[in-house]
Structure 1
Amino acid sequence: MAVWQQVLALDAKFNAYRSPNNPQFRTLYIRRRSQLLREHAKVEKDGNSRKEYLHTRAQLLNSRYGSPAFSDQGSIKSRSYSLRSRNTEQSLESMAVGGDSRKYHHRRHMSTSSLKYLYEGPMKHVYDSITVVPTVAAEASRAMAGGKTLSENYAFTGMHHIFDQHSAAVTSVKFANDDKSRVACCSLDGTLSICQVIPPPATVICMLKGHKAGVTDFVWSLSNDVILSVSEDSTARLWDVAAGSCLRVIEDSVGAELLCCAFQPLNNNMFVTGNSRSQVQVMNMSTGKMYKGGSSKVTGRVNALTFDASGRILWAGDERGSVFSFMVDVATGKLTKTRRMTVSDGHPVTSLSARAWISREARDPCLLVNCCINCLSLYRITSDDGALQLKKTFPVKQRSAFVKSTFCPLMSFRQGACVISGSEDMCVYFFDVTKEAKPCVNKLLGHSAVVTDVAFNCDESLLASCDANGMVIIWKREGKQGNL
């Protein structure tokens, strides 16, 4: 067993060199290697052959890529090392070693034991050891960006399309994962819609109907084949995206309104809901039942949920202004409450978003929080159990509305890093989190009601924003029109 763990660790060390323009491939490659090595280790009895393989593979990788000394290679320092696990329906092509090239097919759902091993086993040292040396000047990054400033990069000046298929407030809008063309939204009119925005003309692909009350939140699965939605009708529904049909209806265990939801990042058979009776619940998608030990209470209605990239830490924001952190056992679904922090006593938390990296210059895990106190707050994650420390606040108009925010998905090649937020003054705000003075780098006008949510597509060429009148605007980025 120990030898194949060393083989996986060796592959992980060289993984940054594989497909430099396709980080999702690198992540999936390592996950598939973990599965194969684990399976062969159960049946293989000859340890000497595996040791010989380890020695030969080390020689071949060193011969092809050189020594993986992260601290000595400037080109490696400037890259992003996001280790977020993603799923995809594409098959994987293995790297050619010794002339032997085999085609592997990624399994959509890994076993919970494999997932737990992947994070806590030989991959753990990769999460812990890969670092980027911080620089103040960021000269290399600016050169790669062509000298553009952050405000120039986020100059969204025109509307690509306007959707108005919903008859009540749109509560959430999200692009599909690693997909720049499909966007979905949910509404208090009880429906969800899936739209195609490129190539033009933009169209509504289908409407998902079934909820008997307003839909409060939804999320795409990592493979984009399933959408999970929650509603004021006390149910969660799983939707087949391709067929536009409902796969399963899951009743809340206490019959409470469901207000927010999130898939477990490493295991999409596990999801979490938050309800109006202060409960956070970890559910099994296949059975529709709650995991044993997968429930915990907070101090008020659970308005927002988010995981860290590893899926081990979950944060929940409630109506009384508190953010709770939980440790989630990926294998068993057990939920353990670890921390509580008050953002603003008595003012509802309406949105949470976690990010392990703020920019390419340094790792800086943060949590973005909307709270009804006329400001957007950025917190630094300071411990392995989700402790938070206030880093910065940004002015937005929010006293009572359920407004959401998000990080920009791409780590910038230039100095600065951006977050965006809706607002009660009908504007979309862009903030540079690194600027001490005048952090707002752009403001979009066009909505005629409270902007409730905002979302980027994967390459930041399009931005979606939705409002309390049921309108969704797709904004196009200046200089990106030719790529749409």
Structure 2
Amino acid sequence: MADADSTSGSSASASTSSPDRPAAPSMPTDPDFLSCVLQPPTPSSSRPDADYVALRRLLLRRKPPSALQQRMEWRCNGKGYVAYRNFLLRRTDGGSAHSTPSNSGRWIPSPGPATLSEADSWSPIRDLRSNSGVLSRTVSLSSKQGDTERHVRFAEPAYSFVGMHCIFDNCKVSVTILKFGHTSSDLLAYGAADGSLMVCQVSEPPSVLQKMIGHSKTITDFDFSSNNQYIASCSLDKTVRVWEISKGTCIRVVYGVSSQLCICFHPVNNNLLLVGNANKEISAINFSTGRVISKLNFDDAVTALDIDHTGQLIFAGDAQGYIYTVSVNSHTGSLSRTHKNKSSKSKSPITTIQYRTFSLVARCPVLLSCAQDGNLSFFSITTDAKGYLTLICSLKLASRVQAIRASFCPLLSLEKGEFIVTGSEDANVYFYDLARPKNSCVNKLQGHGSPVIGVAWNHGENLLASSDSDGTVIVWKRAKAN
């Protein structure tokens, strides 16, 4: 140590006395790196080079932990994987989950003798087979001693998740729709079959900010204003309601003559609300006064809609599986129909219409449609022809009884492929690559105990929210890409 101190002192004095010499680069401050570098080489090492030994120690310390270790360290609101698994099993067997306003956004297993500890049965086979958020494949290999089953995990950074960020279980009926706020990674809202609308924050600690009561029947859709100060919701009770989020109060009610099925704010003129209803029409409503400015009639009930980023084109799906392109005037709110496209051969209601400004596959704006019979369609949009749609590819999933929704994965699609995420009636969340004609399923998330209805990404796409027919909302945390 004395030699080291004298050496460092002499080098310091030398650098001080030589102003023309360039300053030495700053040493890294990573404690792992420093601890490895400062350890002396072992006498038995075949390489006497201290830098080589330090680098080797650094790499060994930074090796990723095993899958078993990751599962044992997995946490959600302070609880481990086994506790949450037992919680789901109790709910499936008829047990009840306790939730109080003080622990909103958390899950608490029901007390009882069946509760297992965190160290319960951590077998490697179970750990590798139970793929909560990570794609697993099983490869069988034979040897001279007999057939043995090896479990090999293939995890791609774009699809892998590290577990659940938080869970909201304070709703006892089906959660039909959920969305994150515009350009927000923290603000989440979801509507339920009893007409309630919850606004939550998903940051630590996760909590319910507002519970807005006003609708008397199922909430079919809602949308945030561009500044996330207001929410406009529609319902089967034939009303459109506008809510002020900070106060949790309804500031305007627009009454209709039929069920209101889909709604969105105009992206350029937030004073315009566009609403599709069961009366086969889209209405443009003045946000400030609640007056209907204009209407446009269609062949069947308008069940889903979205609008492009310029605010000039509306894409609407109806109950017969048709997709319409509608031109809208941003100032006056006047509507005019331009194109009518068939999304699939079946006559099933469209549950999701989602617009994206660009796709690497299509090299132009694209549109995703999801029908209740399980047909997913991917279209390119010709902007020069006023929104004419061209089918690029489609995917047929299992037919659904419920109106299950789907969503683009924009950040994932910046790599290779065109990825979408959707719920399913087998209680899983599935990821599909529409660019793959075969083996399109690339991942699935397991954790829900009932059919998954809604999915939504936050702004940074590091969090994915999903809701089921039992009222549970799970926020999944995506793994950081290397």
TM-score norm. by structure 2 comes to 0.65
String of CA shifts for 1:213-240, please: whole Å, max 9, x gaps. Answer: 2211101111101101001111111111
Q: Does 1:214 align with 2:218?
A: yes
Corresponding residue for residue 161 of structure 2: 156
Task: Answer yes or no: is the 8 Å Cα contact 2:410–2:419 preserved in 1.
Answer: no
Are 1:258 and 2:260 matched, yes or no? yes
CA deviation map 1:309-344 (0-9, x unaligned): 111110111111111111001111010011111223
- Distance change in 2, residues 1:332/1:475 (3 Å): same
- Against the structure 1 CA distance between its residues 405 and 273, is the aligned structure 2 distance closer, same or farther, given a 3 Å change threshold? same
Give the superposition deviation at 1:373. Answer: 2.8
Give the corresponding residue for 1:227: 231
Q: What is the DSSP-based 3-state SS (H/G/I as helix, E as strand, rest coil) of the residue aligned with 2:357? A: strand
Separation of aligned partners in 2, 1:208 and 1:419: 31
Structure 2 Cα separation of the partners of residues 248 and 387 of structure 1: 36
Q: Which one of 154, 169, 172 corresponds to residue 167 of structure 1?
A: 172
Q: What is the match of residue 457 of structure 2?
A: 456
Determine the C-alpha separation between the residues in 2 that align with 1:240 and 1:278. Answer: 29
Paired letter, 1:435: R
Letter of the structure 2 residue corresponding to residue 209 of structure 1: I
1:366 is matched with 366
3-state SS of 1:458 partner: coil
Partner of 1:295: 295
The corresponding residue for 1:267 is: 269
* Contact 1:173 1:185 survives alignment (8 Å): yes
Quick check: 1:346 aligned with 2:347? yes
Superimposed CA distance per residue, residues 392-422 of structure 1 (whole angstroms, 9 cap, x where no aligned partner): 1234333332111111243755333422112
SS at match of 1:324: strand
Query: 2:228 and 2:207 mapped to 1: Cα distance?
Result: 18
Q: Is the 8 A contact 2:393 2:435 kept in 1?
A: no
Partner of 2:471: 470
Tell me the amino acid that sits aligned with residue 466 of structure 1: S
Identity %: 37
Which structure has more RCO (C-alpha within 8 Å, separation ≥ 6)?
1
How many residues matched?
Answer: 326
Larger Rg computed on CA atoms: 2
Would the aligned equivalents of 1:150 and 1:414 in 2 still touch at CA under 8 Å?
no
Q: Distance in 1 between matches of 2:413 and 2:262?
A: 30
Residue type matched to 1:405 in 2? A
**Alpha carbons of structure 1 residues 477 and 211: separation in structure 2 relative to 1, 3 Å:** same
Structure 1 unmatched ranges of 5 or more: 1-148
Deviation at 1:158, TM superposition (A): 0.9
After TM superposition, give the deviation of residue 243 of structure 1 in Å. Answer: 1.1
- CA–CA separation in structure 2 for the residues paired with 1:182 and 1:234: 27
**Does the 8 Å contact 1:166/1:189 carry over to 2?**
no
Q: How does 1:314-353 map to 2 (within 5 A)?
A: 314-343=314-343, 344-353=345-354
Which position in structure 1 is the counterpart of 2:41?
A: none
User: In the alignment, is the contact (CA less than 8 A) between 2:184 and 2:458 conserved in 1?
Assistant: yes
2:103 is matched with: none
Cα distance between partner residues in 1 of 2:452 and 2:364: 28
CA contact (8 A) 1:408 1:420 kept: yes
Counterpart residue type for residue 310 of structure 1: T
Aligned partner letter, 1:260: C
Which structure dedicates a bigger proportion of its chain to helix?
A: 1
Contact 1:176–1:182 (CA under 8 A) maintained in structure 2: yes
- SS, match of residue 157 in structure 2: helix
Query: In structure 2, what is the equivalent of residue 404 of structure 1?
Result: 405
Q: Would the aligned equivalents of 1:208 and 1:245 in 2 still touch at CA under 8 Å?
A: yes
What is the letter of the counterpart of residue 373 of structure 1? D
> How far off its partner does 1:382 sit?
2.8
Whole-Å Cα distance in 1 between the matches of residues 194 and 439 of structure 2?
38
CA contact (8 A) 1:194 1:206 kept: yes
Structure 2 CA distance for partners of 1:342 and 1:362, relative to 1, 3 Å: closer
* Residue 194 (structure 2) aligned to one of 189, 194, 209: 189
Identify the match of residue 176 of structure 1 among 162, 181, 188. 181
CA distance in 2, matches of 1:405, 1:479: 23
Across the aligned residues of Structure 1 and Structure 2, the Cα RMSD in angstroms comes to 1.9
Which residue of the partner structure matches residue 285 of structure 2? 283
Letter in 1 for 2:222: F
Partner secondary structure for residue 270 of structure 2: strand
Deviation of 1:467 (Å): 1.3
Query: 1:322·1:345 contact (CA, 8 Å) conserved in 2?
Result: no
Task: Give the alignment of 1:107-122 within 5 angstroms.
Answer: none
Report the Cα offset of residue 346 of structure 1: 2.1
* Counterpart contact for 1:150–1:415, Cα < 8 Å: no
Unaligned stretches of 5+ residues in structure 2: 1-153
* Maintained 8 Å contact 2:304/2:317: yes
Evaluate the alpha carbon distance shift between residue 325 and residue 150 of structure 1 in structure 2; reply closer, same or farther with a 3 A threshold.
Answer: farther
| Comparing 162-171 and 277-286, the one that deviates more | 162-171
Distance 1:286 1:153, change over 3 A: same
SS at match of 1:368: strand
Return the TM-score normalized by structure 1: 0.64
**Deviation at residue 362 of structure 1 after TM alignment:** 6.9
Letter in 2 for 1:246: C
